[in-house]
Amino acid sequence: MKQIQNVKNYLTEAGIKPSYQRIKIFEYLIENMNHPTVDMIYKDLVPYIPTLSKTTVYNTLKFFVDKGITQIINIEDNETRYDADTSTHGHFKCIKCGNIYDFSFDNKNLNIKQIENFEIKQIHLYIKGICENCKNKK
Amino acid sequence: MKQIQNVKNYLTEAGIKPSYQRIKIFEYLIENMNHPTVDMIYKDLVPYIPTLSKTTVYNTLKFFVDKGITQIINIEDNETRYDADTSTHGHFKCIKCGNIYDFSFDNKNLNIKQIENFEIKQIHLYIKGICENCKNKK
DNA sequence: TTTAAAATTGTAATAATTTCAAATATGAAA
DNA sequence: TTTCATATTTGAAATTATTACAATTTTAAA
Ligand SMILES: [Mn+2]
Ligand SMILES: [Mn+2]
Ligand SMILES: [Zn+2]
Ligand SMILES: [Zn+2]
């Protein structure tokens, strides 16, 4: 994903007033590209922002998604994850260690048949299996 | 997906004792390929099986998934859906009408670099957009 | 400084799912 | 066929994720 040099400017350009909480949450997303859940974000940030409310994390992420600077990753039911990289890319979840890996793919040669005349807005490709690390551990 | 002539046999072959509830729930899945939620299944079946418990629907679906005759569809956070077609195929959700369409795709030539040595168990491709029907309604 | 709007917060409400123990059904052995 | 162990189903309670909402705080313009 493209580098973001100044979070404050980046938020402003996206039409988001850069409040302290919003900056911290977005910084968290780009520093922790491991696709965190709301709970992970809240637990990690609240030591630094003692007044932080979990509702603010929910509100802020929803706002980010609406404004197009964050995408939701639904690779597993029970856990909604967030990704500041909104480009079309795939996610691999290792069923052993739980890590989620990004990967790129060509959506040109998917050769999709039945939905040719449909208007595509978002493509999500999720793959589950065993990562190289875990495979070698045996 | 391949035709299932006899649900009782199909369950048995999958290592599932074909109880009344299990047969009805699986029949529902193959008759309603619209990827229903637990709630849809429960609400539609309880008039015919008045003693049915929602816990049974949860238990049974989890069992089906473990035994490999049902897959979970996570195209939207907030709603876990189920699909008796366990073959690798894609799902398109229309953001206007909410319908979910099946489609096929080639997973051979995805050209994935980053996860070449990973062991792939499942591939889920989710696309969101506007279906042909809704596009023409304008 | 005053003031209105925007953002944040905390609590309560809602919804989805899981846990668990009791009740029921099933099927083999006696 | 009765008995008994096991598997399945059930319903209630507990847990977890998320949303609604009103009160408080912050922001920035007048
Ligand atoms: Mn990603
Ligand atoms: Mn399907
Ligand atoms: Zn792993
Ligand atoms: Zn539609």
* pLDDT by residue, tens only, chain B of 138 residues: 778 999 999 999 999 999 999 999 999 999 999 999 999 999 999 999 999 999 999 999 999 999 999 999 999 988 999 999 999 999 999 999 999 999 999 988 787 889 999 999 999 999 999 999 999 987
| Tally of domains in chain A | 2
**Interatomic CA–C1' length for residue A105 and nucleotide D20, angstroms:** 40
Q: pLDDT tens digits, residue range B22-45?
A: 999 999 999 999 999 999 999 999
Q: Which nucleotides of D are covered by protein (CB under 7 A)?
A: 7-12, 17-21, 27-28
Residues A46 and A97 placed together within one structural domain of the fold:
no
> Smallest Cβ distance to B129: which of A90, A104, A121?
A121
Residues A55 and A95 placed together within one structural domain of the fold:
no
Residue A22 CA: distances (Å) to CA of A36, A49, A61, A81, B48 = 16, 12, 9, 17, 51
Q: Classify residue B83: in a domain, yes or no.
A: no
Report the CATH number at residue A24. Answer: 1.10.10.10
Residues A20 and A58 placed together within one structural domain of the fold:
yes
Counting Cα atoms < 13 Å in the Cβ hemisphere of B118 gives: 25
Give how far the C-alpha of residue B49 lies from the chain's centroid of Cα atoms, to the nearest Å. Answer: 22
Q: What is the pLDDT of residue B24?
A: 98
Flag if B121 and A76 touch (Cβ within 8 Å).
Answer: no
Residues B96 and B42 placed together within one structural domain of the fold:
no
Residues A55 and A108 placed together within one structural domain of the fold:
no
Mean pLDDT by 10 residues, chain A (138 residues): 90 96 98 96 97 98 98 94 97 95 90 92 96 92
Counting Cα atoms < 13 Å in the Cβ hemisphere of B16 gives: 26
Q: Classify residue B106: in a domain, yes or no.
A: yes
Residues A11 and A54 placed together within one structural domain of the fold:
yes
Domain coverage including residue A102: 90-136
Q: Classify residue B85: in a domain, yes or no.
A: no
State how far the Cα of B41 lies from the Cα of B52, in Å rounded to an integer. 11
Report the CATH number at residue A124. Answer: 3.30.1490
Q: What is the pLDDT of residue B124?
A: 97
